[in-house]
């Protein structure tokens, strides 16, 4: 499904996407395009892209083709989703202890929309850390 999402195939393009977007949250799915977890996440991203287009824009980055951010953002998981707003990385407290990113595939579209809305509202207010509408702290619940 990642073929219908905007791909950023160079580190410069990733930087430009983060820096140049002034009014919307930039959602970047880092991972391997052929990985099943990434495919699940990409399906959610594609299905909600039209709904969130006024306040967020999703991109995909294949970390084998663009390894420049692997160490900087600690991209060791098969699939990682990160949020940026006005050239600032927005942290999100999901209850998992890792506030930098979502490192599993969300399958519920509305759940993902709620997270993106929360990130957007918090980022618009100048917050660098937002709290997720749902707690993901218990294992196997997500």
Q: Report whether pLDDT(141) > 70.
A: no
User: Does the structural domain 2-131 have CATH classification 3.40.30.10?
Assistant: yes
pLDDT of residue 116: 96
For the segment 17-46, what is each residue's pLDDT rounded down to a tens digit? Answer: 999 999 999 999 999 988 999 999 999 999
Q: How confident is the model at residue 136 (pLDDT cuts 50, 70, 90)?
A: confident
Enumerate the domain spans of the chain.
Answer: 2-131
Q: What is the DSSP string of 8-54?
A: --SHHHHHHHHHH--SSEEEEEEE-TT-HHHHHHHHHHHHHHHHHTT
Could you report the per-residue pLDDT of 87-109, keeping only the tens digit for each? 999 999 988 887 889 988 898 99
Residue 1 binned pLDDT confidence (cut-offs 50, 70, 90):
very low
pLDDT tops 80 at residue 4: no
The number of beta carbons lying within 10 Å of the beta carbon of residue 80 is: 26
What are the tens digits of pLDDT across the range 30-87?
999 889 999 999 999 999 999 999 999 999 999 999 989 988 888 988 899 999 999 9
**C-alpha span between 4 and 9 (Å, rounded):** 14
């Amino acid at each position: 499904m990642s073929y219908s999402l905007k791909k950023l195939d160079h580190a410069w393009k990733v930087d430009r996407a983060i820096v140049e977007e002034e009014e919307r949250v930039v959602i970047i799915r880092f991972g391997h395009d052929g990985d099943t977890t990434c495919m699940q996440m990409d399906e959610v991203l594609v299905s909600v892209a039209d709904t969130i287009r006024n306040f967020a824009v999703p991109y995909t980055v294949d970390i084998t083709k663009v390894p420049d951010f692997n160490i900087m953002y600690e991209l060791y998981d098969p699939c990682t989703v990160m949020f940026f707003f006005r050239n600032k990385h927005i942290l999100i407290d999901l209850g998992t202890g890792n506030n930098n990113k979502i490192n599993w595939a969300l399958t519920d579209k509305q759940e993902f929309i709620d997270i993106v809305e929360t990130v957007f509202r918090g980022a618009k207010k100048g917050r660098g850390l937002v709290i997720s509408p749902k707690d993901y702290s218990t294992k196997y619940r997500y």
